[in-house]
Chain A
């Protein structure tokens, strides 16, 4: 059939059941993304004869004689469509995976429709930004499109300088100190646009799967129908007989070695309880067999023909039952040597800690006590790019894996261990990653791809579907958190007791770290003479839990900060004041589980006091948004605080290089990944500033085991504080080499040399880069350039703070919670890139609002009940209000240029603050997330019922 795409005539035949999305991608229109394949997320949006549609659910057969326009047809990096330009100028993306569809949809809107944006954009989900920047981008893009009448494109990149004064309270306030020297204007503290911005908005920046894979085998997996079963036998003969099938893998065909899908700097952090394919399955959907075939259709058909004889085993789904006597044992053969502490009662890890004496006595002796038990739910990361990887053998026969991962180096190391290969025989790299949020700190697809490539010698592709994401990746650990607080009348804490039960599901990936981290800064934020912490992480036959933004802190903070709010109510003390009375003070080192000062902690500029003041003032100032009319709307304000260490304990390593090329460009070799965190921008800013050059002369080779020496990975918000710090050191080292060389050439003192974009000026003469390179000491020479290296080991950690405040209105008749005002203050140290950092705070707040009000991965007898986005409610534009972001003015001693980490932490105080606001609105406290409308309605109904007799008495 004939059709056109972006003006080019095409002649091709789609398969009968093919959708337009895959048909376009088959024809190398890789700018059309896949987020859900069910019409829910909009990442695949295209225009058909100018009309926007979701191409994933549009029959390709119908395209005959029609014309398709993709985001790449709207504009190019050099000639942006006004809507594309607006998304660049307004930082309307982070990971950028939703952006193509977002822009295509927005390009069809006119001025009259701007008032109806939440409805019109509800079919375009963004998981990163929190939508404020997207609303602004669309508004600006529509205005510019109107003016520009036709296709007049903007070409000049606009670098927006941030407003820095207090009159612009929603922008960044603290740009930190960069130190005065001879460098051109520093780029630190500037909202420099992401290096990939123009490619992202035109769909030309490749993500994991945006590459042609001719001849690749497609992998599909057969999942277990049972939550717990032993495989008696598997018959794969019918599957092997399917035309196109080249390989069927079962537990007979894979290494017996156990590993953890969760990856850390120290592999001994996580339990070795997982096999690539196992003869026992422990959750519904667990891999039973994998098929590699020349087409996805053949692989799927073959999976349906695999005959498995299961011996169904008893299963347990409740973590309290799971650790009780008589429960079915899920990993009975694991031992403490595997990092499973008590397999005999399904317990992976236990924490029994505290100090200061008997907590129950201290509680009993306290003037006031409060207590409660909070329960969090399973959440999906819902990053729009699903997990997946592509593997092949390179010309040297070396295994290469291109994957959607936050941890390419750790993935390489574990693949080497699993497959018994030396490190130099495996290369792992990522393209731009379409979101992670912790979900890609796991090895979930690379093992099958690697085995398939090694067994067949052919390239292999394994791309998860959205349902695969829900069924067999990982979810946030559900936790039951019981908190009891004692205090004196004047508001001083006298006792804290915290009891945590964490459900890790069928495998222990990240369970230990999440449990320990969850109980750390959430509790050490407050000073109490007596503390007691009990926590356990427990196996169940549920879908596995894993790393999720905040890494356990948010769950425990929900309990602690809600209890603090209840204490404030009980004492009649303002909740901000109660934090001021009890929180850790400037210069104080937080205490560990047993009361010892944490030895690696080096708290830098202290910002909690400012964060509390900023949020409180914003709430007092208000924002003019009124509650809806009607006495059934009840208004309440709530707040919560959170603390986070600026990196993970136990070391986080980044080894980087900066290389000068003869043309004056710099190439950065850094291992960490870009998945919307904005680290590539910050890295370019750091190096350009250090080397006195412009941002366009800086090129990154990142997230590739071939391009950098090493990087632990893009997690624990380490992109700036670890990798950025290492690059800063490498850039300064290179600068030192250049200046010394120029001084030698010119026979002057180094202090007389000024490094600029074209070379070094000394004594009125410019020494060009070619001359500098030629004269540089041999040990720095690499190819035709010179390089310097530096490493950061993350041995010391600082502290960052966030305070969230809400004013909400609650409809007591229906349970609707309307956020009237949302404020988050953040102690980010020096704000390296204000618009990006603001976006991290907004995005974290939005994701947490989703978890607090809407989202839940529902599981019944181990079966996922919410396997698609239309059942799992990722926030739409309509659900997320603007959040005022206020930065404290601090500067850290550890981070580069005084910066702290600020990616995970904005998530952490949000659910507690919302719960506290709801509590104060309706007089009854919600204890279980999400605070969904049905639950809030029930609470309000019961609160009114219990109050009524007093009124009538």
Chain B
């Protein structure tokens, strides 16, 4: 059969891009947000951060864009509590983050950036927040946040705010729990995760293609171990252990994870298997 076999639910159908936008011809308004009061969306307005996804597909339901890049949020703020990554921090800024004493997890930042299909030129424009809010399974800023227990700081239209683990914010491939008008302000990475040793693997159907699976692993100073499966499962999968598990346990847990899926970037069975294989490579690295 040459017709691509589909999973019965066909739930990725909504993810097939609706085509190409040369220009966003339904957009008639473009305004820059400079204060929180500018963040109240009008009818059919959308937030735009880098714009690299927004301008890549038709946005027929939208008539106005509100540009967050002028909010003046510092891209990266380090403190004793950890690292605050502004939603408007570009991928390039994140990938070039200088090393910080004690943050053994530093390599993971660049690694997760490379998991993006996006070229380094897109890194110059695309943002961490945009990637998280698109919430694609292959969105590797989600991989990064999930690997490091990142929490989303969300501003609500009524002036309030709340925090939610990115692991839970992302509810599916291309969906999240953000309500209309809510803005992702930042992703906060706790210090204990930044001090952890980490491992990383990415695989796609082509060497640098859009990810079929992104695997992360982390061993904290207190010995707790956390493994992340993204891109391969419909929403982030996190496996937590009080100490580094043995190979059989990790494989069994990874293999029995829900939500492996089939789309043009990989089949469910392959995603499941390569996730197991590559997680084991990470486990061995972390055990060394």
Binding site for B on A (CB under 8 A): 15-19, 22, 34, 36-40, 42, 45, 51-54, 56-59, 61-62, 105, 118-120, 122-124, 296-297, 300-301, 304, 317-318, 375-378, 465-468, 478, 480, 503, 813-816, 853-854, 856, 858-860, 863-868, 870-873, 875-876, 878-879, 928, 932-934, 937-938, 941
Contacts and interface: CB of A to CB of B under 8 A. Distances in A.
Interface stretch (B81-89, B140-148, B251-259, B269-277): B269-277
B114 interface: yes
B24 A17 contact: yes
Contacts of B212: 933
18 contacts: A16-B30, A17-B27, A18-B24, A19-B23, A37-B56, A38-B20, A54-B119, A56-B56, A57-B53, A57-B54, A119-B114, A123-B120, A465-B22, A814-B278, A860-B4, A868-B56, A876-B206, A878-B208
A12 to B, nearest CB: 15
B19 interface: yes
B216 interface: no
A894 B30 CA distance: 64
Nearest to A936: B270
A97 to B, nearest CB: 17
A54 B4 contact: no
A376 B3 CA distance: 10
Interface string B40-65: 00000000100111111101100011
Contacts of B274: 813-814, 937
B118 interface: yes
10 A-B pairs with least C-beta separation: A123-B119, A17-B27, A17-B24, A934-B270, A297-B25, A16-B30, A57-B55, A858-B4, A467-B19, A38-B56
Interface string B1-39: 111101000100100110111111111111000000000
Contacts, number: 211
Contacts of A873: 205-206, 209
A16 B59 CA distance: 13
Given A17-B65, A53-B125, A868-B17, A39 B118 contact: yes
B21 A37 contact: yes
Given A57-B52, A376-B2, A301 B203 contact: no
Contacts of B273: 813-814, 937, 941
Contact of B265 (A42, A815, A871, A928): A871
Given A119-B114, A318-B3, A854-B205, 8 more contacts: A57-B122, A62-B67, A118-B207, A119-B120, A467-B19, A813-B273, A813-B277, A873-B205
A564 B222 CA distance: 60
Interface residues of B, number: 63
Contact of B4 (A122, A854, A856): A856
Listed residue (B19, B209, B273) with the most chain A CB atoms within 10 angstroms of its CB: B19
B267 to A, nearest CB: 5
Given A118-B208, A375-B2, A860-B4, A466 B30 contact: no
B270 A51 contact: no
Contact of B20 (A123, A124, A467, A860): A467
Interface of B: 1-4, 6, 10, 13, 16-17, 19-30, 48, 51-57, 59-60, 64-65, 67, 69, 114, 117-122, 124-125, 203, 205-210, 212, 263-267, 269-270, 273-274, 277-278
Contact of B207 (A45, A378, A867, A879): A879
A240 to B, nearest CB: 18
A858 B60 CA distance: 25
Query: For chain B, what secondary structure do more than half of its interface residues adopt (helix, strand, loop), or is it mixed?
Result: loop
A934 B55 contact: no
Contact of B206 (A34, A54, A814, A875): A875
Nearest to B262: A934
Contact of A123 (B30, B122, B203, B277): B122
B20 A39 contact: no
Contacts of B17: 38, 467, 867-868, 871
B210 A465 contact: no
A934 B263 CA distance: 12
Nearest to B58: A300
A865 B16 CA distance: 6
Contact of A58 (B21, B51, B117): B51
A320 B43 CA distance: 51
A37 B20 contact: yes
Nearest to B16: A865
B73 to A, nearest CB: 17
B28 A17 contact: yes
Nearest to B266: A934
Nearest to A871: B264
B29 A16 contact: yes
Listed residue (B59, B119, B203) with the most chain A CB atoms within 10 angstroms of its CB: B119
Contact of A53 (B29, B121, B208): B121
